[in-house]
């Protein structure tokens, strides 16, 4: 994934009170993902990865709204899945549902759901006729 984002690390870090947006792991502000992985190391990640941007026309993946802190493990494993898809995978795997309560992430999901293209992504949801 590209590292060209100019996002301010402390700002992104504070969005989740210093926790991984996916697994809720505690993060160390100054520690980035490098060859030697340290506890709490993390990088800025795209909730909606650029690879999936075509599914959400009108949503700016480069905006700060779309950036979340992610521990190195989650970031590597998530790859090109959306944040919601990956978090759902984690949730099913380890039943961590109650730990996921990051307001910024809920906000992002609301933004995405309000995008008209999101509705067409839902498999069998039909819009109310004559609404
Ligand atoms: Zn994580």
Model confidence pLDDT, tens digit, residues 110-123: 666 665 555 444 44
SS3 89: helix
- Give the count of beta carbons closer than 10 Å to the beta carbon of residue 40: 17
Identify which has the larger pLDDT, 59 or 103.
Answer: 59
CA–centroid distance, 27 to ligand 1, in Å, is: 9
Mean pLDDT over the full length of the chain: 77
CA of residue 101 to ligand 1 center, whole Å:
14
What is the Å distance from ligand 1's center to 77 Cα?
9
Average pLDDT for residues 86-110, to the nearest whole number? 65
Number of independent structural domains in the chain: 1
Residue 8 has pLDDT above 70, yes or no: yes
| Domain ranges, residue 39 | 9-114
Is there a domain that residue 4 lies in?
no
Judge whether 83 lies within some domain.
yes
| CB neighbourhood size of 83 (10 A) | 24
In a domain, 44, yes or no: yes
- Ligand 1 center to residue 43 CA distance, Å? 10
Give 4 Cα–ligand 1 centroid separation in angstroms: 21
Q: Using the structure block, give the residue that is written with the tokens 């700060």.
A: 64
The band of 12, judged by pLDDT with boundaries at 50, 70 and 90, is: very high
pTM: predicted TM-score of the whole model, two decimal places: 0.68
CA distance 59 to 21: 19
pLDDT tens, residue by residue, 55-85: 998 899 999 999 999 999 899 899 999 999 9
* Partners of 5 in beta bridges: none
pLDDT of residue 125: 43
Instruction: Supply the pLDDT for residue 103.
Output: 47
* CA 131 to centroid of ligand 1, rounded, Å: 41
Q: Report yes or no on 99 lying in a domain.
A: yes
The pLDDT of 95-118, averaged and rounded, is 57
In-domain check, residue 66:
yes
Q: How far is CA 127 from CA 47, 115, 116, 121, in A?
A: 27, 14, 12, 12
CATH of the domain at 109: 1.10.30
131 in a structural domain: no
In a domain, 128, yes or no: no
Ligand 1 centroid to residue 8 C-alpha, Å: 19
Determine, yes or no, domain membership for 125: no
pLDDT at site 63: 92
């Amino acid at each position: 994934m590209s590292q060209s984002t100019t996002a301010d690390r402390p700002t992104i870090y504070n969005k989740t009170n210093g926790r991984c947006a996916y697994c809720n792991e505690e993060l160390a502000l100054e520690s980035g993902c490098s060859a030697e992985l340290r506890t709490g190391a993390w990088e800025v990640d795209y909730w909606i990865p650029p690879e999936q941007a075509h599914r959400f026309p009108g949503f700016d993946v480069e905006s700060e709204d779309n950036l979340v802190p992610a521990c190195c493990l989650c970031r590597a494993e998530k790859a090109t899945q959306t944040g919601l898809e990956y978090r759902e995978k984690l949730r099913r795997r380890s039943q961590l549902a109650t730990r996921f309560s990051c307001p910024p992430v809920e906000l992002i999901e609301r933004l995405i759901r309000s995008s008209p293209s999101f509705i067409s992504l839902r498999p069998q949801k039909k819009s109310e006729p004559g609404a």
